[in-house]
């Protein structure tokens, strides 16, 4: 087993007192910030990015491993203790978790979530070790046309599948790609969309985009709709599980892991679908179906495991292909780029030590998480009492510090505020945030592969469809784009037994009834 020995090498690199301390720091800071209301894992990682600027690459990757899993776990604490999930992936956890907390079983809900996250994280990280090198072996044979097609799948997937409205998803995606265009063309050195400003010639750093859209946008949005009431706190004891709870939890953990990992690994899979599927599966398989809706422990154990396993799964396309499949992964790619590391299939061959070290630190971060969170849960819950003015002032404080630290230019702060207002508008009008970030990160890569493949074919368009992989990708894209149309036509063909509401066909927009339907596309 080559991978295993490489992984052990990674462990050997990580396990020094200094590095372990950094991993511990990452887990603590990641969890603490993740618990804070209004801050999800993606914003946690974005805000903490500047922490890593001064560190050597290796140590900052270790820090990231801790922050990544810590931020993931922190979010679920809030959704259990309050019925307000910060992330769409913790929505399902809140369903049963909050009911459990209300009936005095907060400690058990937190425990099954912490241990389930550990189990899923460990298995998931092990699966990374097994799967990722295979994907790399395959990906390394791919040329630019294939990569172009894969990136297109990621584009269409994030824009069309996630979120509720396709046209809004594509609007966000195109805005992101347009932001990615700003700067100096890498082949010809021509300035694009810089409007003569020397500051823009250097491209807008992805970190600035992410912090602006996530952090500043969120702060402005919250400011416009500040909730002016407190919620009742649910007292938390030290998390523990009884024998019966263990017995009811371990199977959901494993099933959740099995569901979560593959969804995390495919582009545009995300954590929403597997967590929801896990919830449905547990409700069907449970011996206590009557408890569902009143605080069934299976309904926390399964989705939480699925959530963390999908987080682990995202590391596969991230490390093997350089594709971000969720917001947190997108920021990690931004972090890689700020170190001049280009994630992609070449990373494992060029810098294998780095990759295995990151994987090893994921294991270690995951372990620290378990050790820390069981005793510290009551402490984390106290963080919810930070007054909102201080909390959001703190977010702006760290956001401007991070954005300035990228290049040491006050100009970036103005860009940050402008992007904050873009983020505000997106929260107001509904275009999802993820496609914009993905577009900004993958847009330049997309153009590079486009130009390279046409260069190889001497400008012949047919050079874009090179090989079976690209063909499969284009078929998938076609399927995703055409499917809603087909579904609508089939529904139309079945006749009038359908709800009148569903009749919002492209060519018959008639009367007030059909206007109440929102077509998928256009």
Q: Do 377 and 238 meet the contact criterion of CB atoms below 8 Å apart? A: yes
387 lies in the site for another protein, by CB under 8 A: yes
Return the residues of window 493-512 that contact another protein according to CB under 8 A. Answer: 501, 504, 509
CB of 339 to another protein, least distance (A): 14
Return the residues of window 227-266 that contact another protein according to CB under 8 A. Answer: 227-233
| Cα 220 to Cα 416: distance, rounded to the nearest angstrom | 12
Q: Do 68 and 365 meet the contact criterion of CB atoms below 8 Å apart? A: yes
Which string of x and - marks every residue 261-300 that binds another protein (by CB under 8 A)?
A: ----------------------------------------
C-alpha closest to that of 272 among 280, 263, 281: 263
| Cα 146 to Cα 142: distance, rounded to the nearest angstrom | 6
C-alpha closest to that of 378 among 230, 229, 233: 233
Residue with tokens 């998480």: 369
| Cα 438 to Cα 416: distance, rounded to the nearest angstrom | 18
Please identify, using beta-carbon distances, which residue of 133 and 420 lies nearer to another protein.
420
393 lies in the site for another protein, by CB under 8 A: yes
- State how beta strands 183-184 and 191-192 pair: antiparallel
One of 455, 486, 508, 511 touching another protein (CB under 8 A) = 455
One of 114, 216, 241, 331 touching another protein (CB under 8 A) = 216
Please identify, using beta-carbon distances, which residue of 299 and 420 lies nearer to another protein.
420
CB of 286 to another protein, least distance (A): 27
Residue with tokens 């409205």: 165
181 lies in the site for another protein, by CB under 8 A: yes
154 lies in the site for another protein, by CB under 8 A: no
38 lies in the site for another protein, by CB under 8 A: yes
CB of 291 to another protein, least distance (A): 20
371 lies in the site for another protein, by CB under 8 A: no
Return the residues of window 61-90 that contact another protein according to CB under 8 A. Answer: 78, 81-82, 84, 86
> Which region among 113-121, 201-209, 262-270, 397-405 touches another protein (by CB under 8 A)?
397-405
One of 390, 475, 478, 487 touching another protein (CB under 8 A) = 390
CB of 126 to another protein, least distance (A): 33
Residues 6+ apart with CB under 8 A from 219: 392, 395, 396, 399, 420
Q: Do 50 and 408 meet the contact criterion of CB atoms below 8 Å apart? A: no
One of 401, 478, 486, 500 touching another protein (CB under 8 A) = 401
One of 30, 34, 41, 50 touching another protein (CB under 8 A) = 50
| Cα 180 to Cα 491: distance, rounded to the nearest angstrom | 40
Q: Is 17 exposed, middle or buried (0-12, 13-18, 19+ CB in 10 A)?
A: exposed
């Amino acid at each position: 087993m080559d991978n295993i020995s490489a992984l052990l090498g990674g462990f050997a690199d990580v396990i020094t007192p200094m590095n372990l301390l950094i991993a511990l720091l990452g887990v603590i800071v990641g969890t603490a910030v993740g618990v804070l209301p209004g801050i999800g894992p993606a914003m946690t990682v974005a805000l903490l990015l500047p922490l890593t600027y001064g560190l050597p690459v290796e140590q900052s990757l270790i820090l990231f491993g801790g922050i990544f899993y810590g931020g993931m776990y922190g979010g679920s604490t809030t959704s259990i203790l309050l019925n307000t999930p910060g992330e769409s992936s913790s929505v399902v956890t809140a369903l049963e978790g909050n009911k459990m907390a209300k009936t005095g079983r907060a400690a058990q809900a937190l425990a099954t979530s912490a241990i389930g996250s550990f189990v899923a994280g460990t298995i998931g990280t092990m699966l990374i070790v097994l799967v990722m090198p295979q994907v790399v072996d395959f990906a390394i044979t791919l040329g630019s046309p294939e990569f172009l097609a894969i990136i297109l799948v990621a584009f269409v997937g994030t824009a069309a599948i996630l979120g509720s409205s396709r046209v809004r998803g594509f609007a966000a995606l195109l805005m992101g790609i347009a932001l990615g265009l700003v700067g100096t063309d890498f082949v010809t050195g021509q300035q694009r969309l810089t409007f003569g400003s020397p500051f823009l010639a250097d491209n807008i750093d992805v970190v600035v985009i992410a912090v602006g859209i996530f952090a500043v946008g969120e702060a402005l949005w919250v400011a416009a709709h500040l909730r002016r009431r407190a919620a009742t706190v649910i007292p938390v004891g030290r998390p523990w599980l009884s024998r019966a709870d263990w017995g009811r939890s371990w199977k959901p953990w494993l099933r959740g892991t099995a569901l979560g990992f593959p969804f995390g690994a495919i582009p545009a899979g995300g954590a929403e679908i597997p967590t929801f599927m896990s919830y449905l599966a547990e409700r069907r398989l449970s011996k206590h179906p009557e408890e569902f809706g009143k605080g069934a422990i299976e309904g926390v154990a399964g989705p939480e495991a699925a959530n963390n396993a999908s987080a682990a799964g995202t590391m596969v396309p991230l490390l093997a292909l350089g594709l971000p499949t969720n917001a947190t992964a997108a920021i990690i790619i931004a972090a890689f780029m700020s170190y001049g590391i280009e994630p992609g299939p070449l990373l494992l061959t060029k810098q294998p030590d780095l990759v295995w070290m990151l994987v090893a630190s994921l294991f270690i971060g995951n372990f620290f998480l378990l050790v820390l969170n069981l005793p510290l849960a009551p402490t984390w819950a106290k963080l919810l009492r930070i007054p909102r003015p201080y909390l959001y002032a703190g977010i702006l404080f760290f956001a401007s510090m991070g954005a300035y630290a990228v290049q040491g230019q006050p100009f970036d702060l103005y860009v940050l505020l402008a992007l904050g207002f873009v983020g505000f508008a997106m929260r107001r009008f509904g275009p999802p945030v993820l496609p914009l970030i993905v577009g900004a990160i993958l847009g330049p890569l997309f153009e590079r592969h486009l130009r390279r493949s046409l260069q190889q074919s001497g400008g012949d368009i047919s050079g874009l469809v090179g090989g079976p992989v690209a063909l499969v990708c284009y078929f998938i894209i076609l399927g995703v784009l055409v499917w809603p149309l087909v579904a609508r036509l089939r529904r139309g063909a079945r006749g009038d037994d359908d709800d009148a509401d569903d009749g919002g066909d492209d060519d018959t927009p008639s009367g007030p009834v059909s206007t109440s339907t929102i077509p998928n596309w256009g």
